[in-house]
Structure 1
Amino acid sequence: MKKIELIIRPEKLEPLKKILSKNEYSGLTVMSAMGCGHQKGYSEEFKKLGMEINLLPKLYVMTVILDEDLDDILTEICEKLSTGQVGDGKIFITNVDDVMRIRTGEHGESIL
């Protein structure tokens, strides 16, 4: 299993949910985030307050998928979420050794 953690533009959440749903993944965690990278952010509105903040609104999305689905899902994410502009985001991929459903104590891939 793989955990994919995505930092994406907020308007790209619905296309991401459609990709995951199409591949039969319904579980995900979404958090509001602020960040900057090569995009550098936009700080004009804060300059009036004497502050230099170069953070832009993003979403952090985390989900776990099966190894065999990884390449297809990543390809589709890049196709559907990319605007071709700086600031499209990043995907971090890590191995997941096991997963457990708290309600029942079940373990393994079958609970995804």
Structure 2
Amino acid sequence: MKKITAIVRPERAEEVAEALGKAGFAALTKMDVAGRGKQMGLRMGSVYYDELPKTMFWLVVQDERVAEAVEVISKTAYTGNFGDGKIFVSPVEEAYTIRTGVKEL
């Protein structure tokens, strides 16, 4: 299993969640966050925004479906502008259902 962490523009978050659901990735966690990328924030005239609002998604998928999930997120979150986001993929060694105590495969 792999954990996918995706950081996207907040205005694209609902579309990303809907697209993931339609593709069969129903289970996810979504959180509003703030941060900055390589651009180190945003300057508009004399105003400097050090951190910008983003939305972070976490989902765990089977190894064979990682590329599909990444493609759904990438295509849905894409605007072509700086700050579209980032996707990270990490291994998941173990997962347990709290209610039952059952170890996921």
TM-score tier (shorter): 0.7 to 0.9
Q: Structure 1: how far apart are the matches of 2:68 and 2:6?
A: 16
Q: Structure 2: how far apart are the matches of 1:57 and 1:100?
A: 31
- Corresponding residue of 1:13: 13
Two-structure CA RMSD over aligned residues (Å) = 2.1
Greater Cα radius of gyration, structure 1 or 2: 1
Which structure 1 residue ranges, 5 or more long, are not aligned?
none
- Corresponding residue of 1:96: 92
Q: What percent identity do the matched residue pairs reach?
A: 37
Moved more, 87-96 or 11-20: 11-20
Q: Structure 1: how far apart are the matches of 2:23 and 2:38?
A: 31
Give the aligned length: 105
TM-score by length of 1: 0.80
TM-score by length of 2: 0.85
Matches within 5 A, 1:21-32: 21-32=21-32
In structure 1, give the amino acid aligned to 2:77: L
Q: Larger % of helix: which?
A: 1
Matches within 5 A, 1:1-112: 1-42=1-42, 53-109=49-105
Structure 1 runs (4+) greater than 3 angstroms displaced: none
